[in-house]
Chain A
Amino acid sequence: MKIFMAQDLLRANTGMAKRNKREFAHYNNLVINLISSPGAGKTTLLEKTLDFLSPQLKIAVIEGDIYTSRDGERLEKKGIEVVQINTAGACHLDAGMVAGVLKVLPLDKIDIIFIENLGNLVCPAEFDLGEDIKVVLLSVSEGSDKPAKYPLAFRQSRACVINKLDLIDYTDFDLERVSGEIKDINGSIEIFSLSAVKGEGLGEWCNWLKKMRNRKKISATV
């Protein structure tokens, strides 16, 4: 007997992501899922972004890590709400893990939630968490071939941050070529080149975040 199913393999995750999305919409939180390979500078970018945006905006971070809470501890020093998820070996966050920690966050008092995904450009691109926006981060020291090797992460993201611009002269990273390749995969993506450590280009990125936040607020009141 042949049984036709047409069943989505990500159905359980997609259902949970929709529930998270409704929860975030209810509290009007802008939620950003930050994806990169290990060492691209997600935590440093968040530290510097927090310096720029808080206290005007109330920010929380959901911190994904395989085993440690080191990144979470760094961010807690900024005086914001941080909630840690340890995946104990799993290579990505899924919507169920995020749902599990939402009750510990004061969602009604938060403007922006950053979800720092695990350092991995493959699996996180496939699992929606209920976020408004995915942002993919890559750094110039990783080489120029990341968009070609991990097209899904770049296709699914609303913005791409190219980090460690201060190191570009020490690498063979071709900013123009890589930006072009990213645009070939995703024509509507916003690209921000910056150095989180030195602060160069950070203003544009943070202004875009503010714009996204305002847009969400307006769409919620309409």
Chain B
Amino acid sequence: MHEFALVKGLLEAVLEGARAHGIKRVEKIKVVVGELTAVNSEALEFSFQVLSRETPAGGAVLQVEKKKIQLKCEKCHRVYFPQGLKFNCPGCGGRNTEIIKGRELFVDYFEGK
């Protein structure tokens, strides 16, 4: 349940941003979570509900956008979405790959009044 630790970081950032922009009530927060992260969306939402209570973000909608894993073959430079956990390049079969997408874990934006 490290989602609690992540949501603490999320709330600190959003509440600081809200203060800086004179926002009294946060209504929506959008986070982006890559498939190759150890983050569970339900645990993220649960942690958010618990930790945001009695803050200006209490009751806000937490929208989680998931990003598929995208890799780049280091040999032939092909960029592709792997099938399941077979990360090998579908073109040349190369096994050494760079992660292009899938490791995202960030607050995209928040909305409020």
Contacts and interface: CB of A to CB of B under 8 A. Distances in A.
Nearest to A10: B105
Given A5-B13, A147-B85, A126 B38 contact: yes
Nearest to A123: B2
Nearest to A120: B2
Nearest to A94: B5
Contacts of B23: 1, 3
Interface stretch (A148-156, A161-169, A190-198, A208-216): A148-156
B36 A184 contact: no
A4 interface: yes
Residue of B10, B36, B96, B99 ringed by the most chain A CB atoms within 10 A = B36
B109 A5 contact: yes
Given A12-B9, A147-B85, 13 more contacts: A2-B111, A3-B23, A5-B106, A6-B106, A6-B107, A7-B13, A9-B10, A9-B107, A122-B2, A125-B38, A126-B2, A148-B85, A155-B36
Nearest to B86: A184
A213 to B, nearest CB: 24
The 5 A-B residue pairs with the shortest CB-CB distance, nearest first, are A187-B95, A123-B2, A4-B109, A126-B38, A187-B96
Contact of B38 (A12, A123, A147, A185): A123
A181 interface: yes
A148 to B, nearest CB: 6
Interface string A85-127: 0000011101000000000000000000000000000110111
Contact of B106 (A7, A181, A185): A7
Contacts of A91: 1-2
A11 interface: yes
A8 interface: yes
B108 A4 contact: yes
Interface string A153-181: 10100000000000000000000000001
A10 B31 CA distance: 13
B6 A9 contact: yes
A127 B106 CA distance: 15
B9 A10 contact: yes
A8 B12 CA distance: 12
A183 B14 CA distance: 39
A151 B36 contact: yes
Contacts of B109: 2-5
A186 interface: yes
Contacts of A122: 2, 38
Contacts of B87: 155, 184-187
Contacts of A11: 9, 13
A68 interface: no
A183 B99 CA distance: 15
Contacts of A147: 85
A216 to B, nearest CB: 22
Contacts of B111: 1-3
Contacts of A183: 95
A54 interface: no
Interface in B1-38: 1-2, 5-6, 9-10, 13-14, 17-18, 21, 23, 31, 36-38
